[in-house]
Amino acid sequence: MLSKLVLAATLGFAAVNAQSTFQFSETFPEPYVVPQPKQAWLDLISNATISNAPIIQESGGVLQQPSNVQGDPNCVWTFTQCLREDDLHTCPVGKFSVTFDDGPSEYTPKLLDYLDSINEKVTFFVVGGQVIQYPEILKRAYDAGHEIAMHTWSHSYMTTLTNEQLVAELKWTEQAVFEVTGHSPKFIRPPFGNIDDRVRDICKALGFTPVIWSVDTNDWYLNEQSGSFNPDWINGNVTQWASTNTTSGGMSLSHDLYNVTVDAALEYLPILSDAFDLETVGQCNNQQAYKEGAGNVNGSSTAQPSASTSASASDSDSSVSAQDADDESSATRVFATGMIGFVLAGTAAFLTA
């Protein structure tokens, strides 16, 4: 299992070696480090009603469930998979949203090539540090009509951060995406699904909507447990989801950070495409994905953000017990694999989504 330090070092190394000619107008924080907010961003939540849910402590990669709290009054998804009314997590019957976390990466173009070939659109939940290293890849995804959403700046457990740090995680990521695409995402997926009512209230005050998922490919096992994890298990599980297309919809969790996870997507996407109408998160939930409106949902936008306007547009926005068991879904997952039932148990993982 990779520790957070190893993950940060791995991704940081990739970032250093990324070649980009894109010119940002903003000086961004260090990738994968919890950033500091601008005062103007803190002013956006100064009059907001924010839950007094306690900051959850983390020790050795394990979130510590508060011992003096009965039940789950703060709706912590990590501990109980609790959802609030405004949390998006699935699609209507017959519709399915395929989502990818942690990018953009050097492997994202291969996924984009394939999606172009089958004319399907997905939602990318991007990490701020990856955006500033691979802006051209993000721009390509946006221009092709894929939906761009946020996955924070540092990929930290959100409930462990202060209000000020949460604002910084969200607004720096929004700023980076805006400079590249000219649009500010409305959707935010908390890393590891780690969200509570305090985090939700801050998201709402800043104009963001939380997004979780209904089914998990657990594709990251392909990278972390390649010797014991059979790729066929993913296709078997996806086939089971596809068999429910007349009675349910869904929203899957996948990743475009690794070559093996992208290769897996190329295998299971046809199964989902044949069974469901594939739509982005915003489309299947009848919500606009960007604060400025529909954005480039049909791949026809010609917006070219300029350095002189990028920063001002974002800054003026006024709308606005888990174990470290390598399973970000924080829940037991059963893989249907034909004649094999493979059960993976876990309660909060580090290295996915």
Q: Which residues are catalytic?
A: 101, 255
Task: Output the CA angle 142-151-4, nearest 5 degrees.
Answer: 135
CA distances from residue 183 to 9, 21, 99, 134, 353 in whole angstroms, order as listed: 30, 20, 19, 17, 22
- Phi/psi class of residue 75: alpha, beta or left (left: φ > 0; alpha: ψ in -120 to 50)? left
Cα dihedral across residues 285, 202, 53, 253: positive or negative: positive
Pair 174, 126: CB distance under 8 Å: no
Among residues 341, 41, 4, 18, the alpha carbon closest in space to that of 173 is found at 41
What is the residue type of 249? G
What is the residue type of 325? A
- Report how far residue 224's alpha carbon sits from residue 114's, in angstroms, rounded to the nearest whole number: 24
The stretches of 297-352 forming alpha helices (DSSP H) are 307-315
What is the residue type of 77? W
Structure tokens at 23: 């010119």
Pair 334, 204: CB distance under 8 Å: no
Among residues 294, 353, 279, 329, the alpha carbon closest in space to that of 92 is found at 279
Q: CB neighbours of 67 closer than 8 A, spacing ≥ 6?
A: none
Pair 74, 195: CB distance under 8 Å: no
Pair 200, 86: CB distance under 8 Å: yes
Structure tokens at 159: 């409930």
